[in-house]
Structure formats: structure tokens, C-alpha cells
Amino acid sequence: MTDLAAVSAAQIAAHVAALRDGDPAHPPLSAASAARAASAVRGLHRFAVREGLVPHDASRDVRPPTLPRRLPKALDVTDVERLLETAGPEEAAGEGAPRRLRDRALLEFLYGTGARISEAVGAAIDDLDLADGTAVLHGKGGRTRLVPIGGYARAALEAYLVRGRPALAAAGRGTPAVFLNSRGGPLSRQSAWTILRRAAQAAGLPVEGPRAVSPHTLRHSYATHLLDGGADVRVVQELLGHASVTTTQVYTLVTVERLREVYATSHPRARG
């Protein structure tokens, strides 16, 4: 068919369904691939209407395939503890001590506050109030939020700020950033990612594949462990800086999945 105006919504829906089902000459597409194809079709029809080539958008009421909800990856508490320990001991001394103190403080800060990686590397000294145990995080859309800093993260930050950061800062020209690189400048997102990857490898955690540890893994773990501990989902929403509680509720699915796993492996009548 070459007449775009003659295409109906039913034909578009049938086309998307055919992509999902496949045929002898074409393998079936995943929901994500079919959704991208449907998006391309919708874009073509919107363009045709905007340019006056067709009188109406036949794709407007065609919904793309529903994508499976991907649950956030969260580490067990023991895995988080192992990761933090390998990042660098708080009593680090000798050559390389400033970097080890920084690495430990960075990962403790990520897990202890639920900060995004951009919020961590963007944090300034004035954003920290270690006496009060709080930090101001500068999030998406220019929004800021005040979050508590746990005792372990506070101790790691204090050790780094007293015994690590001054040595790193001496190589630079002065910056208010909390986390510095070896040249005394602000630590980049890429460098922070490298620090985490190195610690994950040392801890025996995956750094490749679907279960690979990433900076967001600590944020996911932070939220999941709070909910596991009984925190209200709206409190977690505020701590994470989510604009909508719907975004936060995905973590409740993680905890339900974990409960199912425990039940399936522990209850004598769970199998069958």
C-alpha cells in the first residue's frame, strides 16, 4: 500500500502484532524492538498530518507493546559491606593513602545517602554538615534536597577530609568539590565509575553483563535496603529525590521478589 491516507489504525496494530509474532522469513521481535518500530510508524504519521499530507493520524490510538518492567539491581547487604571494605580501609596510610581514603569515602557516601553519581561528584564542601550528619544534594532539574549521612559514611568522609583531601588539593588550584582527582581537580563521573569498578572487581562482584555493578547499583541498594528495613515508600521517595512516588514504587517490587525467593527456598510446601 502506497497511499498513507488509506492506512487504518487496525492495519497499524496488525503490523505491530505481526512484528511480535514473526513469520517463516522473519524472527519475532522483542517487545522493545517492536515498540521502537511502532514509534517510527507513529512518527511518520504525525509528520504526515503536520505537513498536510493526510487528514488524520491513524496511529494515534495504536499503543506500542508493553515493555517488561526491569527491576533495579540491588546488592545484598553483605556484598555492599565487602565492596566498601575493598575500596580502602578508613585507617589507610602510606603512599596512595589519600586516594584510598577518597575511594572509601566516595562509595560510603553513595550508599549512605542514595546519591546519584552526578550528585556525589558535584557535591561541594559547603554542602556537607558532618556535625549535623546531613548533606545537600543537587539533583535533576535544579532541585536540591537535604539527606542524612549515616555514621559509617560520616566517619569515612571525616577521615578523607582530614587526611586525604588536603594532599590531593595541594596538586590543584583550589576547588570546593568534595571529591578530588590526583591533580587536585574535581573528580569526574568517569573516574568515579572506575573507582567503583575497581572495588567491585576486588570484592569479586560482577563488572560485566546484566548483573554488573554500576554507580546506580548503590543507589538501588540504598532504596531497597531502606524498604527492607521498614521505611515508608514516601520517605524513600524524598530521600531519593523522585518527583513522583510511582518511580519509587518499583523498589517495592524488588522487595516482593526477594520475599518470593526466600519463601520458595525456605517453605516446605512452596515447591510443586
pLDDT in tens, 174-214: 899 999 999 999 999 999 999 999 999 999 998 888 788 98
- pTM confidence score: 0.69
What is the C-alpha separation between 36 and 29, in angstroms, rounded?
Answer: 10
- Distances in whole angstroms, Cα of residue 206 to Cα of each of 214, 217, 231, 251: 10, 11, 28, 21
User: What is the set of active-site residues?
Assistant: 116, 140, 216, 219, 242, 251
The pLDDT of residue 1 is above 50: no
* pLDDT: which is higher, 147 or 242: 147
pLDDT at 73: 79
Lowest mean pLDDT among 50-59, 103-112, 153-162, 241-250: 241-250
* pLDDT: which is higher, 16 or 249: 16
CB 105 within 8 A of CB 157: yes
pLDDT at 141: 78
Please give the mean pLDDT across all residues of the chain. Answer: 85
Average pLDDT over residues 11-24: 84
* Domain map (residue ranges) of the chain: 1-68, 77-261
What is the C-alpha separation between 65 and 42, in angstroms, rounded?
Answer: 13
Class of domain 77-261: mainly alpha
Which long-range contacts link 100-104 to residues 24+ away (Cβ below 8 Å)?
A: 100/164, 101/156, 101/159, 101/160, 101/163, 101/164, 102/160, 102/164, 102/165, 102/168, 102/179, 102/180, 102/187, 103/195, 103/198, 103/199, 104/156, 104/159, 104/160
First to last CA, the chain: 52
In single-letter form, the type of residue at position 195 comes to: I
52-109 confidence digits (pLDDT tens): 888 888 888 887 777 666 666 789 999 999 999 998 765 555 568 899 999 999 999 9
pLDDT band at 8 (very low <50, low <70, confident <90, very high): confident
